């Protein structure tokens, strides 16, 4: 059977950095994120007896569809397909075709939207009827952060202590709060260290245990900021958290420096704008591009300033949105 799903990327306000369990992608902390409507992946999965093996091809924004050559990435997708096949009790092979709505050279990690769309499409195509919670468990196995792209809007990933208890759920729907994530792209190239490597090296940082000890406090403050819609508190916590994660990356063995001149230029600009009461707060994932969290009323104004910086190549405006869901229109 053939099924198609669309899933958004998500930006972590509170980061997953370091794995407590490498095989199951269990985090050390609860994490909190927002879905991103401008950056989505659409995936069609077809299980059919005519296929002699599993296959995967991907097309990025404005590019031709091509077979995925990166063996590790391909294997992760096929592992998830196999697991779903086993759970559904079927033996047929799958054809998987995937398309990204955002430029592949934007340097935005596509693994969250990719594994969330894959999970929802493959589970339905295999005939499984799973709850949202069960879908988040499966997506997490592909890529930890992918579980946060299944529910809608503002999402909490509970760290749990086992495969069954580490799931994601929506804290608030997209309409709850008019926030924006302006992704300022400063480096479209492939990052020097993948998030997989970052997770692996994180515990070698001498500050790692300190961070873990401190996180429950930050989680509860962040929940509080969301509940009260206290934007300044939320922004302050998001920035603290970004610096904490990047401090671990910087001090791990080997050290990882994700920031570049563009990252610093944007941070300086945001700090200047803040003096004029134009509020945009920065956070960075495993890369140099800056996600600027702001209120929708300020998005146009902040974009105007950020676009003028010489290091900035483009700005993608994202609003919170619905999580992964099935759609009627297939890719093949």
Query: With CB under 6 A as the contact rule, which of the stretches 15-23, 233-241, 270-278, 309-317 interacts with ligand PMV?
Result: 15-23
Task: Name residues contacting ligand PMV, limited to 272-331 (CB under 6 A).
Answer: 285-286
Q: Smaller CB distance to ligand PMV: residue 111 or 205?
A: 111
Task: Name residues contacting ligand PMV, limited to 204-233 (CB under 6 A).
Answer: none
Residue of 3, 8, 16, 193 that binds ligand PMV (CB under 6 A): 16
Q: How near is the Cβ of 19 to ligand PMV at its closest, in Å?
A: 8
Q: Smaller CB distance to ligand PMV: residue 3 or 170?
A: 170
Q: Are 44 and 331 in contact (CB under 8 A)?
A: yes
Report if residue 241 touches ligand PMV, rule: CB under 6 A. no
Residue of 98, 101, 195, 244 that binds ligand PMV (CB under 6 A): 195
Task: Name residues contacting ligand PMV, limited to 25-54 (CB under 6 A).
Answer: 31
Q: Are 189 and 159 in contact (CB under 8 A)?
A: no
Residue with tokens 């209120």: 295
Q: How far is CA 244 from CA 19, 157, 187, 303, in A?
A: 16, 19, 22, 26
Q: Are 56 and 23 in contact (CB under 8 A)?
A: no
Q: How near is the Cβ of 252 to ligand PMV at its closest, in Å?
A: 13
DSSP-assigned letter for residue 174? G
Q: Are 13 and 156 in contact (CB under 8 A)?
A: no
Site map (CB under 6 A) of ligand PMV, residues 84-123, x = contact: -------------------------x-x------------
Residues 6+ apart with CB under 8 A from 161: 26
Q: Quote the CA–CA distance of 261 and 259 in Å, as a whole number.
A: 7
Q: How near is the Cβ of 145 to ligand PMV at its closest, in Å?
A: 3
Nearest to 225 by CA among 176, 266, 182, 184: 176
Question: Which parts of this chain interact with ligand PMV (CB under 6 A)?
Answer: 12, 15-17, 31, 109, 111, 143-145, 195, 285-286
């Amino acid at each position: 059977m053939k099924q198609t799903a669309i899933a958004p990327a998500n930006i972590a306000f509170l980061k997953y950095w370091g794995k407590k369990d490498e095989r199951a992608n269990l985090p050390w902390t609860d994490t909190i994120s927002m879905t991103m409507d401008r950056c989505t992946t659409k995936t069609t999965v077809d299980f059919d007896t005519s296929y002699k093996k599993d296959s995967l091809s991907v097309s990025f924004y404005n590019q031709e569809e091509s077979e995925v050559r990166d063996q590790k990435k391909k294997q992760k997708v096929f592992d998830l397909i196999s697991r779903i096949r086993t759970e559904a009790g079927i033996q047929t092979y799958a054809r998987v075709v995937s398309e990204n709505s955002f430029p592949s050279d934007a340097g935005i990690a596509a693994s969250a939207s990719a594994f969330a769309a894959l999970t929802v499409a493959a589970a339905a195509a295999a005939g499984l009827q799973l709850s949202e919670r069960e879908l988040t468990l499966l997506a997490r196995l592909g890529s930890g952060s992918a579980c946060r792209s299944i529910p809608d809007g503002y999402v909490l990933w509970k760290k749990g202590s086992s495969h069954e208890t580490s799931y994601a759920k929506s804290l608030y729907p997209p309409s709850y709060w008019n926030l924006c994530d302006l992704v300022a792209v400063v480096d479209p190239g492939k990052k020097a260290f993948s998030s997989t490597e970052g997770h692996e090296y994180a515990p070698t940082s001498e500050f790692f245990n300190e961070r873990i000890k401190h996180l429950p406090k930050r989680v509860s403050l962040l929940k509080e900021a969301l509940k009260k819609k206290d934007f300044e508190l939320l922004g302050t916590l998001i920035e603290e958290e970004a610096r904490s994660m990047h401090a671990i990356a910087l001090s791990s063995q080997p050290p990882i420096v994700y920031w570049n001149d563009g990252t610093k230029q944007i941070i300086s600009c945001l700090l200047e704008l803040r003096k004029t009461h134009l509020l945009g707060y920065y956070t960075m994932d495993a890369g140099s591009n800056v996600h600027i969290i702001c209120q929708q009323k300020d998005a146009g104004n902040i974009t105007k300033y950020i676009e003028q910086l010489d290091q900035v190549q483009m700005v993608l405006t994202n609003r919170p949105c619905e999580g992964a869901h099935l759609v009627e229109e297939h890719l093949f």
